[in-house]
Amino acid sequence: MLSRNIDGPLACCQSSPISQQLCSFFVAVLLGAAPLLSTYWQDRQDATPLASSTSNPPLLGRKAKAIADAAAQYPYIPQRETPQVFLVTQPGSLPAFGIARRGDAVLVYPEANLAVLYDQQTENIINVIPLPGSGF
């Protein structure tokens, strides 16, 4: 039987069955972790525009409280934290939420590490995403 000598990064995988298994394991781990890391990085990039954007202005006062109270009726929404509420005026600046529309509200719960997209017309929660890091 002829044996090929492979040079390069996978040369160690040809030495013994155990090193072949270890090499296969590490390749599988790297391939499995790549989508997770990609998703984390994309979410981190997508959440940044809301924190620094003037195109999606914050809502204050009674309007913000009314939206926060309406969203609080749903499970998994933090009850002991007052959110920061933003009005969506440019949905394209918030791709992390998926289907954001003009007039929706984004409720940001920094302590709970959550951002909630709330549709004011239908009074429904559209999407909930985790915030990267410790919030905005």
Each residue of 72-99: pLDDT tens digit? 888 888 888 889 999 998 888 888 888 8
Please give the Cα distance from 76 to 125 (Å, whole number). 11
Please report, for the chain, the start and end positions of each structural domain, with discontinuous segments joined by +: 11-136
Give, in order, the Cα–Cα distances in Å from 95 to each of 15, 17, 99.
Answer: 47, 46, 8
Q: pTM of the entire structure?
A: 0.58
User: Nearest CA to 100 among 127, 76, 67?
Assistant: 127
Q: Which residues contact 2 (CB under 8 A, 6 or more apart)?
A: none
Q: Tell me which of 16 and 62 has the higher pLDDT.
A: 62
